[in-house]
Amino acid sequence: MTVPILASLAALQLPGNQITSMIFMYGAIFAIFYFVLIRPQQTQRKKRDALLLTLKRGDEIVTTGGIIGEVVFIAQQSKDGETLTSMADRITIKSGESRLVIERGRIDRVLTAPVASA
């Protein structure tokens, strides 16, 4: 049982297979980085973008600066009569007695969404 394992290890030690084993090692390291770091970050970013694009009037939000407010108005950018939804849209929020204009991309999280009344 150990003979095939030793034979395969001996074959990997040959000078011609060093490049192959090195390429396999770098490929394995890249695969680990992809599945542990890159892919989860991409899915998290897609969820956040989807949440920000479905933002509506009345939602309570927190900005990246820590300001908590309620969405009052969303001014979407338009290009030749078409409405484009992007992270640069300007959103007016009400926080206390003041109103602030922020970019959609500066919203950190949505605390509450408006409840649909039956």
Third-level CATH fold of 56-112: SH3 type barrels. (2.30.30)
How do the domains of the chain map onto residue ranges?
A: 2-48, 56-112
Per residue in 3-62, pLDDT tens? 566 556 665 665 667 788 889 999 999 999 999 999 999 999 999 888 888 888 889 999
Exposure string of 49-82, with b = 16+ CB inside 10 Å and e = fewer, is eeebeebeeebebebeeebebbbeebeeeeeeee
- Strands of the 60-63 sheet, one edge to the other: 98-103, 90-95, 68-75, 60-63, 107-112
pLDDT band per the 50, 70, 90 thresholds, residue 118: very low
Question: Token pair for residue 93?
Answer: 């929020």
Report the Cα 83 to chain-centroid distance in Å: 24
Q: What is the pTM (predicted TM-score) of this model? A: 0.62
